[in-house]
Amino acid sequence: MTLTPAELTSAVSGGIGTSPQRPDGNLKVRGEFAYASDLWHEDMIWGATLRSPHPYARIKSIDITEALKIPGVYAVLTHEDVPGRNLYGLEHKDQPVLAVDIVRYQGEPIALVGADHPETANRAVKRIKVEFEVLTPVTDMETAADDTPLHPGGNLVRHVHIRRGDQNAEAEVVITGRYEVGMQDQAFLGPESGLALPAEDGGVDLYIATQWLHVDRAQTAAALGLPEEKVRLTLSGVGGAFGGREDLSMQVHACMLALHTGKPTKMVYNREESFYGHVHRHPAVLYYEHGADHTGKLVYVKARIYLDGGAYASSTPAVVANAATLGVGPYEADNVTIDCYGVYTNNPPCGAMRGFGAVQAGFAYESQMDKLAEALNMSPVDVRIRNAMTEGSLMPTGQKVDSAAPVAQLLKLVQDKPMPPPAVNDLRHMPGGVSNTTHGEGVVRGVGYAVGIKNICFSEGYDDYSTARVRLQMVGGELTAMVHTAACEVGQGLVTIMQQIVRTELGVERVTVLPMDTSIGNGGSTSASRQTYVTGGAVKAACAAVRAKLGDRTDIGDEVIDETVEWRHRATEPLDPETGQGNAHVQYGFAAHRAVVDVDTELGLVKVVQLDCAQDVGKALNPQAVVGQIQGGSAQGLGLAVMEEIQTADGKVRNPSFTDYLIPTVLDMPPMNIDVLELADPHAPYGIRGVGEPPTISSTPAIVAAIRAATGLALTRVPVRPEHLTNT
Amino acid sequence: MDFLRPSTLAEALAVKAERPDAVPIAGGTDVMVELNFDHRRPAALLDLTRIEELRTWTPGLRIGAGVPYVRIIDELGAQLPGLAMASRTVGSPQIRNRGTVGGNLGAASPAGDTHPVLIASDAVIEVASVRGTRMIPVDDFYTGVKRNALEPDELIVAIHLPPAPGPQQFAKIGTRNAMVIAVCSFAISLHPNEKRVGAAVGSAAPTPRRARDAEDFLSAALTWEAPKPLLDSVKREFGELVSQAASPIDDVRGSAAYRRHALAVMARRTLGWAWQEYLEGEQACA
C-alpha cells in the first residue's frame, strides 16, 4: 500500500515538545518513499557525465564525433556549450561547470551526453575521445601552498590566524602532538539525482535533491546565463545530505541538456559516480602544543592546522574558520596561538560535512587533553572539568559565550552512566562479530571520554536568514494552516518541526506543509545545525504575524490570512584579519561522550560496546528527533574513529564503493544511553540550540581514547586501522 | 542481452553448449553487481534458479550448487560446521538468502568466504556439460585470480563434501563487524580417523590456497590417540606455517604484513578451539 499525499500531511499531530510521527518514516522503511532518483517524465532523456580519469592533466583535445553517431543520442556537450558563466562555487567561483583546458581532480566533469536511455548515454560517454597531457598532481596538504599553483593566486585558499593573550607564555607541563584525520565521506544513501524540464518561457524547472535551493538556483542561473526567475527549483525526495549536497553536482548539467535538447532530462549518479560527484570532509594534519600548570589548568594552546581542500574551494574558507576558532575546544585558555591553513591540491574536492572543521580539531585537542591527563596522572574527566568552559567564558576569538555552556555537567553525566556488563561469549558482541576471530582471546576493555564544541548557524557576518509563509483559512468548518518555505527537508525532520510550531503558535490542528521550492524566498542551507533555529524561527515569526490578524477568533469565514516573514538570527562579525578576534559565531552547542570498547589487541579489531552521550539542546522541540540526531551523529563519529575513509593515492580514489568504503552496521553501532539537557538559550526561538552536529564531534575522540586505554598505543590518526593496533 | 531460463539441468547444459558466452546466474549477488556497475556486459544470462536439482542437497553430502547460504546455515550447520560458519560471514541476511556456494565457486574470487573451508575439508566440485560430468578435486579448481577450471560449456552442478569427520573452524578478518569482504580468512578441519588436518587461507594469495606445510606439521604434531592439551609451541609453529603459505599484497583492505600476522593469529586460535572440542569429545567417549 502506498500512502497518498493527503495522509502525508495529516498523519502528524501534536505541538512542540512532543514527538509526533514523521510523515516520511513508514514510507522509507517500506521502500515506498519517492526519492529524486524515482522522478520520471514522459519523453524524458537521460544525462551522463564524462569525468577525468586523471587528478591533474591538460586537455589537449576533445572529439565528440563518434559519440554523436550513436542512435538515440540527442546531445553531447562540452565547456563550449555552457551558456553562461562556466565557473561556480559556494565561496569562490573557481570551479568550471565543464572542464576547460585543464582537469584538477579525478572525476572532474568534462562532457555531457543526453540520450534516450541511460545505457545509450553511458556508451556514448565512452566514445568521447579526450587527449590528455598528464601532469604531476599536488597531493601533500602541508607543502601544497609552496607547490605548483593550481589556480591563479596560488594554492592557499585561506589562512586564519588567532592571536590571543601572551604569545610567549610558559608552562610547567608541555604536551605536543601531531594528528591526522582521514577523508570521510557523507555516504548519504540516495545518490545525486534530479530532473530538469525545459519551460515555455525559455527557462527551466529543476526537481532536485539538495540542501539549499536558492544557492543552487543562483549558481545554476549564472551558469545557464538566465535570470534567476527563469530557473525554478523544487525539492524532491532527499536521501540524506550531511553537507554533501551543499555544492552543485548535476544541477547545471541536467539543465544544460534539457535546454539544449528541449526535452525533460534526468540524471542519476550511481554509487561510484557519487563518490566523485560530491565534496568530502577535509582530511587534516594538526600540530598541537598545550601548556598547563601542575594542577592541569591550561596556560596556553598553540596549534598549526592544515586542511586539504582538494581541487576547488567549495566551503573551505568557512571550514578553516571553524577549525581555527573552535580549535581549543570547550575549554578556557587565556593564551592562544592558532594558524589554520586551507589549501588547494589535486585530491578530491572537500567541503561541507557534519561537524565542518570542528570534527578535525576535536580529534586533536581531545587527544591532547588525554595526553595532558596522563602526564599529570589525572583522570581524563578531571582534567577536562578543570578547564571546562562555562557561560561567560571567552572563546579564543574573544567572544563571550553568552548562554549555557554546561561542559562539566555533560562530562559528569556520561561519567555517571552505568557501565556495560563484562564481555559475554556471544560472537555478535565480540570484536570481529560472527567472523569468529576471537572467543575472548586478546580482548581488552577500554573506556574513553571526550567533549566537543560546535558553532550553530552561519558565522563571520554572513546574512543568515530564512523565509516562511503561513496561510490560515477555513476548510470544512475548521481553521487550517499551510506553511511554505524553501528550507530543505533532507531527512532530518524539518517538516514535522514546522507543523509542530504552527500547531503550538496558532492552536490549529490541521497543518499542511507545501513542497519546498524557490517560489518563496531563501530558506538558507540545511546545514550548520541551523534549520530548526532559523527556519523554525521564521515559521514562529510568521505565525505571530498571522496571530496578530486572527486575534481570538476561531472562525474567519471566507477570510484568508496569509503572512510571509523573513527572519534573521542576531548578527555576527567577521574575524579581525590580524588577530582572529571577533564575535564571529551565533551560538555554541556542546556534547560529551563516554565510549566503552573491547579491542582484540592481537588482531587489532574493535567492538564499541557502549557509547553514551549527553548534550544540551536548549529545548527539545521533538524529543524523539533529537535523540535520533544524537544517535546518528554518534554513529557517524564512530565511523570516522574506526572505519570510514576515502583512501587516495597520487590523487586517485582507491575505494569508491560501499564494498570498500565501510560505514557502521547495526553490529558496529552499540546501544546508547542519552541525556538531553534543556538549558534554554535566551537568544534563540524557544531557547533551542542546534542539535545535528555536536554529537559527531565528541564521538570520534571518545572512541579513540577508549582504544588507547585498552592498548596503551598513541593512535594519532583516524580512522584507526587494524594495522595501527598491531604495528603491521 | 538474452535472458535464458531453462527449467532442467539437461536443458541448461544444452543452452550452455550452444551459448558458451552465457553467464550463469543463481543468487545474482556477484553477477548483478558487475552488471549494475557496467563492469561486464554478457551477451546472455543463464538463469539457474528454476532447476530444482541445483537447489537441493542429499545425504552424503552432495549440495546443489544453487542452495543458498541461509539453508546451509539452517539445514547443514550440524553436519558441516565449517561451511556454515563461513556462510554466516557472507554479506547480510538478504545476501545469504540469495547467494550460493556455487556462485562463490563460479566467481572464484580469492576473497570468497567458503573457499578455505572447501579446501580444508577436501570438497569435490561436480561440473557438467553435454559432454558429461567431471569431478574436480577442490585443489585443482582454482586456477588464478577469479579464474577456475571450468570449460566454457560447463556448469557447476554440486559440491561433494563428507559430513565433518571432526571439529572444524573458520575465521575471517574484516574491518567492520558484519557485511564485510575478507581482509583474510582461515579454515581448519580435523580428520581424526585419518590423523590428518586440513588448513587453508583465503584472501591472502591470488587464489584460495591450501597451507600444506602447516597441515603436514600439525597432522604429525597432534596427539590423536591420547589427546592432550596443545603446547603453545605447536600452536605458534602452526600459525607461522599458515602465515608462510600466504602470498598477500598491500591493498585498500589491508597490508600484506597485517594479513600475514592475522593469519598466524587466526590459525593459532582456531586450532585451539578445534582441538579443545576434540579433547572434550574424546573425554566424553572415554
Q: Is residue B182 exposed (0-12), middle (13-18) or buried (19+ Cβ within 10 Å)? A: buried
- Min CA distance, B43 vs chain A (Å)? 15
- CATH number, domain with residue B241: 3.30.390.50
Task: Report the residue of B35, B175, B188 to disrupt the A interface, i.e. the one with the largest count of A CBs within 10 Å.
Answer: B175
* pLDDT beyond 90 at A424: no
In this prediction, residue B38 has a pLDDT band, given cuts at 50, 70 and 90, of confident
Residues near A235 by Cβ (< 8 Å), separated by ≥ 6? A207, A208, A209, A210, A213, A486, A488, A489, A515, A516, A517
Q: Which amino acid is at B131?
A: R
Q: Do B88 and A728 touch (CB under 8 A)?
A: no
Q: Quick one: pLDDT at residue B286? A: 58
Q: Quickly state the pLDDT bin for A6 (edges 50, 70, 90).
A: very low
Contact A433 B177 (CB under 8 A): yes
Q: Please report where in the chains the cell 530532473 appears, as a residue.
A: A195
Instruction: Kindly report whether the peptide bond that precedes residue B61 is cis, defined as omega within 30 degrees of 0.
Output: yes
Mean pLDDT for chain A overall: 96
What integer is the mean pLDDT of A13-41?
94
Contact at CB, A728 and B255, closer than 8 angstroms = yes
Q: Which residues of A touch B270 (CB under 8 A)?
A: 436
Q: Minimal Cα–Cα distance from B42 to chain A, Å?
A: 14
Question: Which ranges constitute the DSSP H helices of A388-449?
Answer: 407-415
Predicted local distance difference test score (pLDDT) of residue B284: 75
CATH code of the domain containing B16? 3.30.43.10
Q: Which of B38, B175, B260 sits opposite A122 (nearest CB)?
A: B38
Phi-psi region of B249 (alpha: psi -120 to 50; beta: other; left: phi over 0): beta
pLDDT band at A12 (very low <50, low <70, confident <90, very high): very low
pLDDT at A1 over 90: no
Considering only the beta carbons, identify the residue of B172, B180, B273 that sits closest to A662. B180
**A161 band by pLDDT with thresholds 50, 70 and 90:** very high
Whether B85 and A441 lie within 8 Å, measured CB to CB: no
Conformational region of residue A651, where left means phi above 0, alpha means psi within -120 to 50, and beta covers everything else: left
Q: Where are the alpha helices (DSSP H) in B23-168?
A: 31-36, 69-76, 81-88, 93-98, 101-107, 115-120
Interchain contact B173–A (C-beta under 8 A): yes
CA separation (Å) from B182 to A366, B201, B262? 33, 11, 12
Average pLDDT over residues B169-196: 96
Q: Please report whether residue B78 resides in a domain.
A: no
Under 8 Å between Cβ of A159 and A340 = yes
Report the residue of A51, A436, A602 to disrupt the B interface, i.e. the one with the largest count of B CBs within 10 Å. Answer: A436
**Contact assignment for A270 to B37 by CB distance below 8 Å:** yes
How far does the CA of residue A39 sit from the closest CA of chain B (Å)? Answer: 19
Average pLDDT (B126-145) is 98
In chain A, which residues fall in CATH 3.30.365.10?
5-33+465-568, 284-459+577-726
Count of domains in chain B?
2
Average pLDDT on B220-246 reads 96
Please say if the pLDDT value at position A504 is more than 90: yes
CA B38 to chain A, closest CA, distance in angstroms equals 9
Contacts of B88 in chain A (CB under 8 A): 434
pLDDT at A5: 40
- pLDDT given at position B282: 82
**Interface residue B274 vs chain A (CB under 8 A):** no
For residue A438, give the nearest of B37, B258, B269 by CB distance.
B269
A284-459+577-726 fold:
Aldehyde Oxidoreductase; domain 4 (3.30.365)
> Taking CB atoms and an 8 Å cutoff, what residues of chain B touch A272?
37
B253 touches chain A (CB under 8 A): yes
Interface of A with B (CB under 8 A): 122, 270, 272, 428, 431-439, 441-442, 602-605, 607, 642-643, 647, 654-655, 659-660, 662, 664-668, 721-723, 726, 728
pLDDT for res A8: 39
Instruction: Say if B172 is an interface residue toward chain A (CB within 8 Å).
Output: yes
pLDDT at A518 over 80: yes
Buried b (16+ CB within 10 A) or exposed e, A408-417: bbbbebbbeb
Distance from CA of A651 to the nearest CA of B (A): 14
Does residue B192 belong to the interface with chain A, where contact is any CB pair within 8 Å? Answer: no
C-beta atoms of A433 and B258 within 8 A: no
% of chain B with per-residue pLDDT over 90: 94
Angle at B120 between CA B115 and CA B121, to 5 degrees: 100
Q: How crowded is the C-beta side of B119, counted as CA atoms within 13 Å?
A: 28
B2, part of any domain:
yes
Residue A265, CA distances (Å) to A43, A75, A128, A247, B221 in order: 9, 11, 20, 20, 70
CATH architecture classification, A38-135+191-238+245-277: Alpha-Beta Complex (3.90)
> CB B173 to CB A603 under 8 A?
yes
ipTM of the modeled complex? 0.96
Give the minimum alpha-carbon distance from B70 to chain A in angstroms, rounded to a whole number: 14
Question: Residue range A496-505: average pLDDT?
Answer: 97
Which amino acid would we find at residue A295? T
The CA distance from A703 to the nearest CA of chain B, in Å, is 15
Q: Are A723 and B258 an interchain contact pair (Cβ–Cβ within 8 Å)?
A: yes
- pLDDT tens for residues A228-239? 999 999 999 999
Q: pLDDT band at B262, cuts 50/70/90?
A: very high
pLDDT of residue A343: 98
Per-residue pLDDT of B39-86, as tens digits, reads: 888 999 999 999 999 999 999 999 999 999 999 999 999 999 999 999
Residue A610 has pLDDT above 90, yes or no: yes
**Residue B81 within a domain:** no
CB contact under 8 A, B253 and A660: yes
Mean pLDDT over residues B108-126, rounded? Answer: 97
- Residue of chain B with shortest Cα separation from A431: B177
pLDDT in tens, A362-376: 999 999 999 999 999
Quick check: A3 pLDDT over 60? no
The answer to whether A307 and A324 have CB atoms below 8 angstroms apart is: no
How far is Cα B146 from Cα B141, in angstroms, rounded to an integer? 11
The reply to whether residue B175 touches residue A664, judged by beta carbons under 8 angstroms, is no
Residues A529 and A55: beta-carbon distance below 8 Å: no
Cα dihedral A429/A434/A438/A444 (nearest 10): -30
What is the average per-residue pLDDT within B175-187?
95
Query: Which of B34, B49, B64 lies at the terminal end of a domain, its last residue?
Result: B49
Interface test with A, best of B70, B168, B177, B203 (most A CBs within 10 A): B177
| Partner-chain contact A603 B262, CB within 8 Å | yes
B225 touches chain A (CB under 8 A): no
Interchain CB distance below 8 Å, B174 and A432:
yes
The yes-or-no verdict on residue A314 having pLDDT over 60 is: yes
Does residue B147 lie in a domain region? no
Q: Domain range for residue B215?
A: 168-280
CB count in 10 Å sphere of residue A391:
12
Cβ within 8 Å, pair B266-A272: no
Of A21, A6, A3, A7, nearest to A496 by C-alpha is A21
- Cβ atoms of A432 and B175 within 8 Å: the answer is no
Answer yes or no: is B97 within a domain: no
For A437, which of B255, B266, B272 is closest by C-beta distance?
A: B266
What percent of chain A shows pLDDT beyond 70? 98
Chain A nearest-CA residue for B257? A728
Interface mutation vs chain B, best among A425, A430, A437, most B CBs within 10 Å: A437
Whole-number Å distance between alpha carbons of A237 and A256: 22
Contact A433 B253 (CB under 8 A): no
In chain A, which segments carry CATH 3.90.1170.50? 38-135+191-238+245-277
In this complex, do B169 and A438 lie within 8 Å of one another by their Cβ atoms? no
Tell me if the domain spanning A5-33+465-568 has CATH number 2.40.128.50: no
CB-based contact B180 A435, cutoff 8 Å: yes
